[in-house]
A and B are shown apart, each in its own frame.
Chain A
Amino acid sequence: MSSTVNLDMALISTSNIIPQDQLRRVFEECVKELGGVIQNNNLFLGKEDLGKLTINNRIVLSFSSDYETSKRSEVRKLLRDTFTRRVAIAHENFLYELRKEKERLEKQSQVEAELLNSLKEVETKIEKSEIGFERQNQSECDALRGEIIDAAVAQGYEVVEETTSQGVQLQFIRRDY
């Protein structure tokens, strides 16, 4: 057994143009402009029941089977054109608010990034100061070893260290790849 369903739908509003509550309000104004009314989610123009509305983030009208087929094309154009004209302003306002919010968040993230950088700088200073003071309390030879190794590592050298009878032998290697 198989079954088929014939659905005649009018997509009055595509999704996500504006928030759902605003979409409903704009559509209600649109219906009012056309002299219609919405009752129990059914759209009436004049006294005719056009069909059932589904309003979520988009608006779809599912034509009632009783509604004359010949009128459907004209009425769907009328609904869509009227709604499109009315939603344009709400859409502009919505974009304006979103862009303002975006700008605010970008500024905030910039401030946060700057704060994070400052925090990292302070942390690095703390770390370096601690290492410096620790070295200051070592023998001059050990302190020098630490300082030279730091300088070499910062310049991209690998370090091999060995203590010999003559002193501390350091080998700094720069790899050629």
Chain B
Amino acid sequence: MDKKINVLIKKDKTLYIETEDFKGEACVSAVKELFKAFLEIDNLELTSDYYDGEVGIDSGVEVKL
């Protein structure tokens, strides 16, 4: 299944990041990998979706660069 990372660049420059179809913690790794050149993401604020299931819309992350 294709894996997706949705990034919303909000008007206030905040990024809202969602992942789709990753399994388990792979979503966290993928987000960290994508943004590694920008900043080191130490702790992600994971939404409740993350804990709901293994596959599906896994997480929503707010990042302020």
Contacts and interface: CB of A to CB of B under 8 A. Distances in A.
Given A167-B11, A170-B6, A173-B3, A152 B38 contact: no
A155 B65 CA distance: 20
Nearest to B6: A171
Contacts of B8: 164, 166-170
B35 A176 contact: no
Interface string A137-168: 00011001101100110010100000010111
Interface in A105-154: 140-141, 144-145, 147-148, 151-152
Which size bracket describes the interface of B in this complex?
20 to 34
Interface string B1-25: 1111111111101010000000000
Interface residues of A, number: 22
A25 interface: no
A176 B34 contact: no
A71 interface: no
Interface string A60-87: 0000000000000000000000000000
Contacts of B4: 171-174
A140 B13 CA distance: 8
Contact of B10 (A151, A166, A176): A166
A176 B4 CA distance: 11
A174 B37 contact: no
A157 B2 CA distance: 10
B45 to A, nearest CB: 18
A170 B7 contact: yes
B33 interface: yes
A47 interface: no
A141 B9 contact: yes
Interface of B: 1-11, 13, 15, 30, 33-35, 37-38, 65
Shortest beta-carbon contacts, A-B, top 6: A167-B10, A168-B9, A170-B7, A172-B5, A174-B3, A167-B9
Interface of A: 140-141, 144-145, 147-148, 151-152, 155, 157, 164, 166-176
7 contacts: A140-B13, A144-B13, A148-B38, A157-B34, A168-B8, A174-B4, A176-B1
